[in-house]
Every structure is written in structure tokens, then in C-alpha cells.
Amino acid sequence: MLAQRLDFPAGAPLLRRGRWLLERKLDGLRCLAVRDGDRVDLWSRNHLSFNRRFPGLVHAVASVPVDRFVLDGEVVAFDGDRTSFQLLQSGSAEPVLVVFDLLHLLGSDLRALALTERAGLLDRLMEGAPTQSLQRCERLNGDPAELMARACAEEWEGLVAKKAGSAYRSGRSADWRKLKCTARQELVIGGWTDPAGGRTGFGALLLGYYRGDELVYAGKVGTGFDESTLKDLQRRLAGSATHLTPFRDAPAVKGAHWVEPVLVAEIEFSEWTRDGRLRHPAYVGLRQDKDPRSVGRESLPTADG
């Protein structure tokens, strides 16, 4: 189940009508944890296995004193009180699976139950969980505007609001809403430019998003990389290089090289310009848990309006 974006503070009245549960928005990798007896499988959103990447989390899930369940959560790395996607990518901090939903338990499918009922069962299940590497996502109480102000002041990614009575349904749903402190989304890498000066690897990544079956050019990003990231990305880009542009509207960029659109990058930026380009973008990390074909432009205000 995926959340739809809700602009804030314009969307505040919606959250004051009816009953919503608020949680912290986590900056990590979405993960389904499946336990069936002695077998544990950790799956990404696009059904790639995380087992080899996070063996400690496999052990943590296997340590829960119930032997059949499916958890929904986010694999994160903490930098103090903040979650850091960069630390998670680099492997320089211990991963933690922060759990926020329970889909199956002891052979029973719970997805049709109200969120509050699933949450109560999850609380009981997590009582015996190893707290260092497997944690329950904290529920937040208070006025949405005040909680959003706190989230942004403490440099969280934002909040997630969920209808208390909602069932769990696959796909994006208005029953779950994400409220972001900064403009940030996934974009598909369609090429790169030559490095300049003393730069190694490449100069910038050429980015886009899908509109139907067409990859639409969204601009380029040349900041947010350290030396090891430049080398790693250049190796990946060289492996998928092609002579044909993947973009519907190929940009006239000097020194451009094209790649098959198979890599997805998380990008932080200030806003969209009126001609559909990113303003002040910065690279955050690769999203290997995302299918490139699922990447579309998220709704955000444009510059000057």
C-alpha cells in the first residue's frame, strides 16, 4: 500500500476531519518481512530479495516468538534521531527495520481489518521483538500542523497520515497520505555528461520520469556525490550505455551520453520550474527498490506560482 502526497498546510483541514493516525515518514527502503516457520524472506517493493544485503534483519525477524506473519515496514539507518538514506546506502550504520503494519498472522489474512485493529495486533507481536534492529514505528499524537512543524524543525523527511478505519490495499491510496518537508522524489537516470575540471566519473546525471510509456526529461543533477559514489555510478552507467536516447524529448546537453533507463535515483530539489525542470537538485542515493516504470512526476507547486 502506497501513500498519496498531500500538500501542507493546504491539506490540514482534511486531517482534522475524521480520524487519522500520524507517523513519522522514514527515509529508507520499503520492505515486506515474511516469516514462515524457520524461513524468513525480506522483499523490496519490486520484489527483490534483501536477505543477503541485511542478514542481521533476517535474524531479527526469525527471533520474534511467533513463527508465521507478514510485516510491512522500512529499512533505515539512524544518524542520531534522523534517518539517513546516505548512511543506509553506504553501509556505514547498522540497519533497522521499523515496522508499521501487520498483513498476515498465523495463517490469517488481516488486510481487510481496520488499521486500528491491525495496529493492536502488531503491538502485541512486537512485544517480544529484538528492539535494536526491529522496532515499532512510533505513533504521533497532537495537532497535524504542530507535528509537521516539529518534523521539519527536527529535519525529518515529513509525516505519514493514515485513516484509522482503512483496510490494507495494494497500490497508491488516498487512505494513506504523505506530507513532505522538502521537495523530493525518485527519478529515472537516462544519461550522464562528461566531467569537467578535476571531476572524475561524470559531470551530471540526466533525469526523467514516465508519462505513460514515454520518459520525459526533467533536468540534470551534478551535486550530492562523493568520490566513491561517482566511481560506483560511472561503473553502473557504463554497463547500461546505449547510443539511443531514452527520452521522448532528448535534451540538447553538451557531452551527453545515454543509458538504458534501468536506474532510479532519489533527488532532493527546491521546486519544479514552469518548463518542467528541477530547480536546485541534489543527488541523495540510488533506489534499487523502485521499478523505473513506476516513476512519475509527483504533484508539487511550480516556480512563480
Residues noted as catalytic: 25
Q: How many CA atoms lie within 13 A of 293 on its CB side?
A: 3
Tell me the C-alpha distance between 157 and 178, whole Å: 10
- Return contacts of 117-125, CB within 8 angstroms, 24+ apart: 118/168, 119/21, 122/71, 125/64, 125/66, 125/69
* Full 3-state SS string of 205-252: EEEEEEECCEEEEEEEECCCCCHHHHHHHHHHHHHCEECCCCECCCCC
Residue 111 is which amino acid?
R
Phi (first) and psi of residue 205, to 5 degrees: -95, 140
| Helix/strand number for the chain, H first, E second | 6, 20
Q: Judge contact between 160 and 166, C-beta under 8 A.
A: no
Tell me the C-alpha distance between 28 and 261, whole Å: 22
